[in-house]
A and B are shown apart, each in its own frame.
Chain A
């Protein structure tokens, strides 16, 4: 009994130790990246390459996600609001949900699944094939060369992708609400303009900047500290998606509380 309890405590201590170490390493990586981001020379080419990867290559998935989310939001809110005779509020419901919540969160989750896992895999492969060590030996700081462009790309591209998700979501909602469910287009657009304020859109964009930082930092951290060969690379990719998604959802709640 005592042995079992001791074993349990040892495991708990080990997990706590790992958690503290990981948190410390991630904080150090973020601090280093913040310093190196403003230390010349700044390699714009690397940053643009990552922006293209995180942003342009994620367009298809966020357009698809945003459109269908807007469509389903319109459909569901119409069914609910019809009971109160408030079908005219479908437009603002969709727009507000997209701008404040669904736009940034869905963009965050989808891009974490697509780009975050790929980033962790790429850096993890570089780690296990000694490419990161090779950078060190060539007097090139791997955090500056590999991590900084990815974090900058995440922070810059997430708000842009969120704007696109918001827009296609609203368009998707309009198509279902007006074309399919027969809401008057003038009422739909007019009510949306009445209820949605610029500050609602900005709340979503502020969140998306944080989500972009979380996605890129978590992916870089998991990839950079990969151990254990090919299996380790797979583990890093999975961890980056799971840890990134959970942190996005937790921070979404905290940001929503704070920004409200």
Chain B
């Protein structure tokens, strides 16, 4: 379980996280929603140690990770996988090189064994015979799938997703949702996603948390959030320009 307590982060004069509290259950899909620029990416960057908070704590099981030294944090990071918004695939490597990269860096497996695992993971995300392709030759949807294959190649306990459906058409978004559900149900991995794609969220979430002005203002299951009467939540879920959230 991940427990985030009173997390605060400021960039220059702009306060992005303002005392954020959240509990993420093990083996569940937690989706964090909120407007663009509200600090969703900043939050998951704190969870994986790309950013350190100004104050507050993040517990992974019983370990407090925000104050860890970089070397110790690297051991913690091996328990994570992350899918970036644009895939963040290495341009200079083939698909197989990308997916197999963590195995090559952190295990003593032979190239043949790595390739077998890579092929299996690619098949799991619905891709076959793409091992020798370069990232530049892949479509947006394929890049996300390859990114997901790389994120799960080490069988991590926790996978973070940064806007997994941004830039995809609705059909491809739905197929990514199926992919998220398929891969999560098999291994019962903890998935943490940030998105503002509401249909996608309703389809996959075990728990939804809404981030607004640097805090989690409401959280609950899909049904609970659909029934939530907080005007900020209602405006966001219904996608209305009029309401307490000002468009600027």
Contacts and interface: CB of A to CB of B under 8 A. Distances in A.
A133 interface: yes
Nearest to A41: B105
Interface stretch (B30-38, B58-66, B76-84, B188-196): B76-84
Contacts of A126: 90-91
A129 B50 contact: no
A131 B78 CA distance: 17
A138 B76 CA distance: 10
A140 B91 CA distance: 17
Given A129-B86, A130-B85, A133-B50, A138 B101 contact: yes
Contacts of B106: 139
Contacts of B89: 131
A237 B82 CA distance: 29
Given A131-B89, A131-B90, 9 more contacts: A130-B85, A130-B86, A131-B91, A133-B45, A134-B88, A136-B77, A137-B48, A137-B80, A139-B106
A140 B105 contact: yes
A125 B77 CA distance: 24
A141 interface: yes
Interface string A134-168: 10111111000000000000000000000000000
B74 A137 contact: no
B220 interface: no
Chain A residues touching B, range? 10 to 19
Given A136-B49, A136-B50, A141 B88 contact: no
The winner among B88, B91, B101 for most chain A CB atoms within 10 A is B88
B77 A138 contact: yes
A138 B78 CA distance: 7
A126 B82 CA distance: 16
Contact of B88 (A130, A139, A140): A130
B75 interface: yes
The winner among A126, A131, A138, A140 for most chain B CB atoms within 10 A is A138
A134 B105 contact: no
B102 interface: yes
Contacts of A133: 45, 50, 84, 88
Contacts of B84: 130, 133-134
A139 B77 contact: yes
A121 to B, nearest CB: 12
Given A133-B84, A133-B88, A138 B48 contact: no
A137 B105 CA distance: 13
B45 to A, nearest CB: 8
Contacts of A137: 48, 50, 77, 80-82, 160
A136 B84 CA distance: 12
The 5 closest A-B pairs by CB, nearest first: A134-B88, A130-B88, A139-B77, A137-B82, A139-B74
B46 to A, nearest CB: 12
Nearest to A137: B82
Contacts of B90: 126, 131, 134
Interface in A99-128: 125-126
B11 to A, nearest CB: 12
A129 B98 CA distance: 15
A117 to B, nearest CB: 17
A130 to B, nearest CB: 4
A138 B159 CA distance: 12
Contacts of B101: 138, 140
Nearest to B74: A139
A137 B89 CA distance: 13
Nearest to A141: B74
A129 B91 CA distance: 10
